[in-house]
Amino acid sequence: MGGWVEGDPVGNRVFLDLPAFRPERGGVLPSVRVAYETWGTLAADGSNAVLVEHALTGDSHVVGPAGPGHATAGWWDGLIGPGAPLDTGRFFVVCANVLGGCQGTTGPSTLAPDDGPWGSRFPEVTVGDQVRVEAAVADALGISRWACVVGGSMGGMRALEWAVAMPDRVATLFFLASGAVASADQIGTQTTQQTAIRADPRWAGGDFDRADPPVDGLGIARRIAHLTYRSAFELGERFGTVVQDDGRYAVSSYLDHHAHKLARRFDAGSYVLLTEAMNSWDVGRGRGGVEAALATVTARAVVAGVDSDRLYPIEQQRQVADALGVPLHVIASPYGHDGFLIETEAVGRLLRGLLDGS
């Protein structure tokens, strides 16, 4: 129950131990362990490396089957492999579990120096902090410049932060289904999810028993979130007002399934921490505003969104595209925000075009 913990099967993860890290908003982590996965072979000059950035409940397992160490199959199946958009005969692809996550990278569920979980003591982290940790991973791997940084949703935030904070280290940028700054609607939705988790009596201020975590609160948070990930049209077409034999509405049964599925593999502390990092996201903070920040980007970019996305609506991607002076690519999909993961053929075409220079 919950995220990956020391002693669980490693699966395809590789671990990197980094020295002390100071988040920008205070506190210190005496060390940081990062879990990551790679595909393909790094060129001698490091020029063929691509960084894939996962979303909120993703992890380093972008592609590949479920199995020991991996509770679910890869979350972006079809993106990486021989002949895939990220062709492993051409590229060396890296995906790291984010700082504050729960799938092998240091987060609230990992052990502090006193051998107890960090829990509520884990310092607040920002998207900028997460990218600084990823930069340390790149350094350790001998990657001075990414051929491409790819990210959607929360991953898009980190991709954009890379392009702004370290423009000389990003050749191309694939920014998908995300925004340059958190909106009031997104913050409101995510703080409501956090409230659901904190209202679970087992939350215990964030210092809960890992053997008895606040799965009820986390499940409610997931139900709320999942409604924003799909479109009203799709839910209506799939479920309508059908009532199952067990008395539940079919759509309620669907949400129950996703709630229980997440509780089996994700840590509630990480969920609160990461949604708070998303709430604080603003690429223009301390940089003179969004337009000024994006003016520093030198990467050749593709910006894309999903036409039915009600969590990160097209207007947010248009802001980024206009500031970067590139066209906005709109992916037609009935699936809402999750369309960025589901419409792999359309996403793949755009990614291939970017990498091929067309």
Percent of the chain with pLDDT over 70: 99
Mean pLDDT of the chain: 97
Residue 105 sits in the same domain as residue 161? yes
Do the domain assignments include residue 322? yes
Token readout for 113 is 């120096």
Percent of the chain with pLDDT over 90: 98
Residue 260 sits in the same domain as residue 192? yes
CB contact at 8 A, 269 and 122:
yes
Tens-digit pLDDT profile for residues 224-240: 999 999 999 999 999 99
Inter-axis angle of helices 215-229 and 250-265, to 10 degrees? Answer: 120
Torsion of CA 237, 243, 249, 253, to 10 degrees: -90
**End of a domain among 220, 248, 278?**
278
Do the domain assignments include residue 7? no
Cα 198 to the chain's mean position, in Å? 22
Across the chain, which distance is largest between two alpha carbons, in Å? 61
The CATH number of the domain holding residue 233 is 1.10.1740.110
Residue 116 sits in the same domain as residue 217? no
pLDDT band per the 50, 70, 90 thresholds, residue 16? very high
Distance, CA of 135 to CA of 224 (rounded, Å): 33
Q: What is the number of domains present in the chain?
A: 2
**For residue 298, what pLDDT is reported?**
98
Q: Which residues pair with 306 in a beta bridge?
A: 331
CB contact at 8 A, 35 and 107:
no
Token readout for 34 is 């990062």
Distance, CA of 321 to CA of 350 (rounded, Å): 14
CB contact at 8 A, 6 and 68:
no
Residue 113 sits in the same domain as residue 79? yes
Do the domain assignments include residue 175? yes
Residues 6+ away with beta carbon under 8 Å from 188: none
Distance, CA of 139 to CA of 152 (rounded, Å): 23
Residue 238 sits in the same domain as residue 148? no
pLDDT band per the 50, 70, 90 thresholds, residue 6? confident
For residue 194, is it left (φ>0), alpha (ψ between -120 and 50) or beta? alpha
Residue 116 sits in the same domain as residue 60? yes
- Nearest in space to 320 (alpha carbons), one of 310, 328, 308: 328
> What is the mean pLDDT of the segment spanning 245-252?
97
**For residue 2, what pLDDT is reported?**
84
DSSP code string of 268-281: HHHHHHHHHHHHT-
Tens-digit pLDDT profile for residues 194-210: 999 999 999 999 999 99
Tens-digit pLDDT profile for residues 287-311: 999 999 999 999 999 999 999 999 9
> What is the mean pLDDT of the segment spanning 252-270?
96
Residue 204 sits in the same domain as residue 190? yes
Residue 191 sits in the same domain as residue 105? no
Cβ neighbours around 21 below 10 Å, total: 19
The CATH number of the domain holding residue 64 is 3.40.50.1820
Domain with 253, as residue range(s), is 186-278
**For residue 358, what pLDDT is reported?**
66
- Nearest in space to 12 (alpha carbons), one of 96, 70, 55: 70
- Nearest in space to 74 (alpha carbons), one of 88, 87, 90, 58: 58
Residue 198 sits in the same domain as residue 92? no
Is residue 357's pLDDT more than 90?
no
**For residue 287, what pLDDT is reported?**
98
Token readout for 126 is 């920002």
CB contact at 8 A, 264 and 182:
no
Residue 205 sits in the same domain as residue 344? no
Is residue 266's pLDDT more than 70?
yes
**For residue 296, what pLDDT is reported?**
97
Tens-digit pLDDT profile for residues 36-64: 999 999 999 999 999 999 999 999 999 99
Do the domain assignments include residue 100? yes
pLDDT band per the 50, 70, 90 thresholds, residue 1? low
**For residue 265, what pLDDT is reported?**
94
Token readout for 251 is 């759509």
**End of a domain among 278, 310, 332?**
278
**End of a domain among 278, 308, 338?**
278
Residue 122 sits in the same domain as residue 244? no
Q: Catalytic residue positions?
A: 153, 309, 337
